[in-house]
Structure 1
């Protein structure tokens, strides 16, 4: 039987090891933790001493206990040590604020969010989840049927006993070209290349067009995995504020003058986490900047399957001249299928194919053939329509409950996610909610550099029940 001290220490240790409590996070004060957990201050001190002995936390004089980066091989930097040791990590004073950021903690931030995808805090619906509920995706019963049909055909032998086509299954690429034409993007099948999910497509683009140290513009708030991925490749991240009218064009223009960025990464439709979609005027101006300054625009349309038909795509306006279009099917069909694709200007296709061959050779053709069948028979389109309708109902319920709980929305609710203003530090609150079995996505995870934030991203499909919001109000009230 574990003592209270051992139970408390193990609870924190597990979260630190799984990165659910990320490096740099501050543990509650001794008094606050004692009150939250219903134990004595002595128990908390003893638990924190155990974490210190295990090398999981460090004590900072008159500031409290902080989570150490358990992946680092060298001792933690002393307080006040110059940050210039990281050459691209410095913040540069300018009218734009942060000019370029090398984010020492961004991978941890992203890891915390990604590990949450695999960590089930409880059987309750998880507000911070990045995917739709399993029950919703299980309704796509046509997927197993399509796989059975493909594996019962001669395609099984041809598809599994060879590497397949380097560009991806020809039938799927033709189906994708027709599907893209339906959203006004003109792409030939030989401009389309399949990938292992949309993230792999983004990685192919980066590895093809960039080298270490190159500046890249990325929307902020934005997908923390993209910040961390670019940082891991050694790129210099230039955060571009994203608002209801699109990216801040003045900031982008200034970046172009100062740093000559090679790339701009944008979620133009149903932006994650805000839900914003790019207005036509702003889209035209972004493309004009790209033409004038010679950078490419990577358009991540991951949420396009649940977007309104009238949504504006940069690739449609540009005709795939300075745009590279990226999409996948994890959000709408099956996360574990890992089928994605990119469509690129003709002059870039061969270079990107070389990058794909060096990373994965080819992609699984059997799943690609099954997906092509689902697209051609209209099953994907009908499924997406059902998901949109169901999501609209869930969104309406979630918004009402959030407002009743005293929250507000920093962006007009749209799509799959809500960008919620809570009025409290959501980093600190995340650990309290985890005690209650709920994993939330604090706003700090969606910024290039981690800093206190009162925002959080919610998944509308998982926050439409009153139980979460009752727990939320109680934790905020007692926090």
Structure 2
């Protein structure tokens, strides 16, 4: 709550609070501020104080007033409004029109600028205490304790990445029935870098790209920043909407399809074999590539259906990383590609980063070879199963329903209220939410939100959530 002081009025404090969030992009362009009445009630001030604070934000150029609609965070550049594709009839003969601004950076910045020390339900990772191990420091000590340390520190590493790690990854992928020789594997600075390498190699500005919706907010934002035409494909329980994909193929000739087959973010859905076969048939018939992001493979069953396994890395490029399960700051990811694409992808990596640091790659190879990573992942899965059960129970007790069967790290929750507005109120209470609009190419508002099961076991959060939902 705001408190009047001799140095700063309530109006100035309120304006400063919103200004800081806007500049830190915790409130993204296009986000609507609470109504004057709602804000006054939430902050315990008079409506005139809120009006005066909003006037200050207007004067600073941070917000704009829209007649009969309210106050919105100002868009700093002209952007385009997306087309919806929630039914096949919405796929028109021309390419989808311009899109709205992406605010995936709000979630990313929230990872580094946590609003409080409370568990954060909107985060996309496991809590740090879940990832603490003794074997990771041991792996680094083992690598740095060798005489070879100075040798590989004073020269550039192998362009494709440490050979020992690529061999370990090749063996690991064989366990998932994904055939990839070490020569087909390229290490990267995290999985997002791998996705970027694939996009920059296979696409040019203006190319149409099919992306699952709802989907990973950062992928929408990344492709948009590269000037790609995003074709949103509705994601269902069994896989992507194949009818919409087929129509896109006929009309737009897309160059790429980006998919999360296993524990899809944010729904938790897993691809079925039948759907996977039809997606591959479309790719062969219409000559497009598929990049399969398997970020959540470490907490998924090995037998889960993967496009790269069924396809044998012919039209698919497999992407994965270790930030989620092991060490976010090690920034190690990789891609496995068809032999014909591997050299082109490596050229793109060389232009961006030359090589990747060998020291931590060697340490990771040791963790994999010694079975430490496998045992660590098993412990995380067991802990996550218990956390998911507790989180689901608390969410249901708070009046939520699940739009998808709870699975994996994330829950796709229906709150029954506007989650963009709810996110603003919860931010005041120190909680960062991930409203459903983040996971649509055109920031489609609604009542859904993504929760992290590992971070929503706290009854205090759900008590505050229920209180905020009841507010007018």
Which TM-score band (shorter chain)?
Answer: over 0.9
Q: TM-score, normalised by structure 1?
A: 0.94
Contact persistence 1:102–1:237 (CA under 8 A): no
Structure 1 position 355, deviation (Å): 0.3
Q: TM-score, normalised by structure 2?
A: 0.96
2:4 is matched with none
Structure 1 position 91, deviation (Å): 3.7
Structure 1 position 90, deviation (Å): 6.2
d(CA) in 2 for partners of 1:29, 1:291? 51
SS at match of 2:90: coil
1:8 is matched with 14
- 1:303 maps to which of 274, 296, 309: 296
Q: Report whether the alignment pairs 1:212 with 2:205.
A: yes
CA distance 1:111–1:230, shift in 2 (3 Å)? same
Contact persistence 2:214–2:234 (CA under 8 A): yes
Contact persistence 1:409–1:418 (CA under 8 A): yes
d(CA) in 2 for partners of 1:95, 1:433? 36
Please give the per-residue CA displacement for 1:211-262, whole angstroms capped at 9, x wherever unaligned: 1111110000000110111111111100000010110000000000001111
Structure 1 position 102, deviation (Å): 5.8
SS at match of 2:421: helix
The total of aligned residue pairs comes to 463
Structure 1 unaligned regions, length at least 5:
78-82
d(CA) in 2 for partners of 1:362, 1:181? 25
1:365 is matched with 358
Contact persistence 1:128–1:439 (CA under 8 A): yes
- 1:113 maps to which of 82, 107, 111: 107
Contact persistence 1:101–1:448 (CA under 8 A): no
Contact persistence 1:155–1:366 (CA under 8 A): no
Contact persistence 1:106–1:224 (CA under 8 A): no
d(CA) in 1 for partners of 2:51, 2:24? 22
CA distance 1:92–1:405, shift in 2 (3 Å)? closer
1:189 is matched with 182
d(CA) in 1 for partners of 2:295, 2:226? 22
Contact persistence 2:91–2:247 (CA under 8 A): no
Alignment of 1:260-409 (within 5 A): 260-409=253-402
Structure 1 position 98, deviation (Å): 5.5
Please give the per-residue CA displacement for 1:322-373, whole angstroms capped at 9, x wherever unaligned: 1100000000001111100000000001100100000000000000000000
1:132 is matched with 126
d(CA) in 1 for partners of 2:218, 2:98? 12
Q: Report whether the alignment pairs 1:42 with 2:37.
A: no
Structure 1 position 105, deviation (Å): 3.5
2:117 is matched with 123
Contact persistence 2:82–2:442 (CA under 8 A): no
Contact persistence 1:391–1:461 (CA under 8 A): yes
Which range moves more in the overlay, 225-234 or 55-64?
55-64
Q: Report whether the alignment pairs 1:54 with 2:47.
A: no
Contact persistence 1:102–1:231 (CA under 8 A): no
Contact persistence 2:88–2:244 (CA under 8 A): no
1:477 is matched with 470
CA distance 1:385–1:326, shift in 2 (3 Å)? same
d(CA) in 1 for partners of 2:319, 2:98? 25
d(CA) in 1 for partners of 2:52, 2:83? 38
d(CA) in 1 for partners of 2:101, 2:67? 25
d(CA) in 2 for partners of 1:262, 1:319? 19
Q: Cα RMSD (Å) of the superposition?
A: 1.5
CA distance 1:51–1:127, shift in 2 (3 Å)? same
Structure 2 unaligned regions, length at least 5:
1-6
Please give the per-residue CA displacement for 1:417-470, whole angstroms capped at 9, x wherever unaligned: 000010000000001001111101000000000122100000000001211110
- 2:38 maps to which of 32, 36, 42: 32
Contact persistence 2:58–2:64 (CA under 8 A): yes
Alignment of 1:155-166 (within 5 A): 155-166=148-159
